[in-house]
């Protein structure tokens, strides 16, 4: 087994260094090395979206990124979405629209939706459905999630 690699990143605005094996995914590094367990594993092959993070402005499934590939990257996870103790409008909208049931997919949906609203502040229902099609939810049937994103867009425009 080769030795561990030293990786320097910025995570949720803070400089974070970690050591990882070449075979460890960024998801595994976030969860098991750094201790940020808000990012979830549902499939480990890029098909469920539970591990969605924002990496250098792109929405990625962190299970398909190696930890060593994160060198120099600017990463945002679910833990960085709220502004201190103030929830993001998406988080409020998810709560008030009952857009989660078990909640395991919720971090991925919120991170993905935040990226959508940053580039398209007033998306149509179709645009929301298209953007979120890589995030699986098995509990809600998506209806209340779509409505929560619409509601958050409205809150953010009014703010």
Partner 1 sequence: MTTADYERNMVLSTVDYKVIGTRPVRHDGADKVTGRAIYGADFDTSGLLHGKILRSPHAHAKIVSIDTSKAEALEGVKAVATAADFPQTDDKKWVRDNILASDKALYAGHAIAGVAAASPHVAEEALALIEVKYEVLEPVLTTQEAMAKGAPILHEGLTTQELGEDSGVVSNTADHFQHEKGDITKGFAEADVIIEREYDTAMVHQGYIEPHNGTALWNTDGRLHVWCSTQGSFVVRDSLADLLDMPVSKIRVTPTEIGGGFGGKIPIYVEPVAAILSKKTGAPVKIVMSRKETFEGSGPTPGSNIKIKLGAKSDGTITAAHAWMAMEAGGYPGSPVGAAAQCVFAAYDIENGLIDGYDVVVNKPKTAPYRAPGAPNAAFGMEQAMNELANKLNMDPIDLRLKNVAAEGTQRVDGPTFRRIGAKEVLEAMKNHPHYQAAKAAGHGRGVAIGFWFNIGFDSACNIAVNSDGSINLTEGSTDIGGSRTSIAMHAAEVLGIPVEDVSPSVVDTDTIGFTAVTGGSRTTFATGWAAYEAAQDVKRQSIERAGSIWDVDPDSLQMEDGVISSKTDSELKMTFKDLASQMSGTGGGITGRASVNPSGVGGSFAGNIVDVSVDDETGKVTVDRFTCVQDVGKAIHPSYVEGQMQGGSVQGIGWALNEEYFMNDQGNMANSSLLDYRMPTSLDLPMIDTVIVEVANPGHPFGVRGVGEANIVPPTPAIANAVFDATGNIMTQLPLTPGSVLDSGK
Residues that bind partner 1 (CB under 8 A): 21, 23-24, 31, 36-45, 47-48, 50, 77-79, 81-82, 87, 91, 94-98, 100-107, 110, 125, 128-130, 132-146
Report the nearest approach of partner 1 to the CB of residue 133 (Å).
Answer: 4
Neighbours of 125 (CB within 10 A): 11
Report the nearest approach of partner 1 to the CB of residue 22 (Å).
Answer: 11
- CA 32, 29, 99: angle at the middle one, nearest 5? 80
User: Cα separation of 54 and 74, whole Å?
Assistant: 8
Report the nearest approach of partner 1 to the CB of residue 70 (Å).
Answer: 18
Show Cβ contacts of residue 143 under 8 Å, excluding neighbours closer than 6 positions. Answer: none
Q: By C-beta, is 51 or 72 nearer to partner 1?
A: 51
Report the nearest approach of partner 1 to the CB of residue 13 (Å).
Answer: 15
Q: By C-beta, is 48 or 55 nearer to partner 1?
A: 48
Query: Is there a contact between 80 and 115 (Cβ–Cβ < 8 Å)?
Result: no
Q: By C-beta, is 72 or 134 nearer to partner 1?
A: 134
Q: By C-beta, is 48 or 59 nearer to partner 1?
A: 48
In sign, the C-alpha dihedral spanning 93, 139, 51, 57 is negative
């Amino acid at each position: 087994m080769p030795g561990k690699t030293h990786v320097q990143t910025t995570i949720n605005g803070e400089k974070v260094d970690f050591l990882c094996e070449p075979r460890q995914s960024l998801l595994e590094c976030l969860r098991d090395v750094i201790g940020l367990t808000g990012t979830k594993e549902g499939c480990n092959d890029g098909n469920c979206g539970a591990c969605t993070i924002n990496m250098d402005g792109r929405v990625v499934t962190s299970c398909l990124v190696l930890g060593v590939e994160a060198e120099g990257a600017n990463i945002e996870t679910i833990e960085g979405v709220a502004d201190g103790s103030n929830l993001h409008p998406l988080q409020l909208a998810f709560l008030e629209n009952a857009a989660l049931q078990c909640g395991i997919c919720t971090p991925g949906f919120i991170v993905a939706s935040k990226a959508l609203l940053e580039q398209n502040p007033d998306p149509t229902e179709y645009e929301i459905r298209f953007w979120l099609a890589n995030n699986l939810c098995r509990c809600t049937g998506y209806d209340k999630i779509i409505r929560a994103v619409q509601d958050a867009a409205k809150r953010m425009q009014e703010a």
